[in-house]
Amino acid sequence: MSWLLLLVPLAVAYYTCTYGWWALKNGYRRGGIGAIALAAFVMALAVYGLFLNSEF
């Protein structure tokens, strides 16, 4: 069941990463790196909350 709960953060992270790659390709370096870092943070937080946090 926990794997299914990862689908929403994964979709958000994918969408954010595609924007980040687009921004990098079009010369918006700072925004692209920030978007990709945000996507990595969202996934790390989701994995931590679902699998490593024992309070759930």
Whole-number pLDDT of residue 16 = 94
Residue 12: give the domain boundaries.
2-52
Q: How far apart are CA 41 and CA 28, in angstroms?
A: 20
| pTM (two decimals) | 0.79
pLDDT digits (tens, 9 = 90+) for 23-38: 999 999 999 999 999 9
The dihedral formed by the CA atoms of 27, 31, 33 and 35, expressed in degrees to the nearest 10:
-130
Q: Per-residue b/e over 14-37, b at no fewer than 16 CB within 10 Å?
A: eebbebbeebbeeeeeeebeebbe
Q: How far apart are CA 6 and CA 35, in angstroms?
A: 19
Q: How far apart are CA 14 and CA 33, in angstroms?
A: 14
Whole-number pLDDT of residue 6 = 85
Whole-number pLDDT of residue 18 = 95
Domain count, the chain: 1
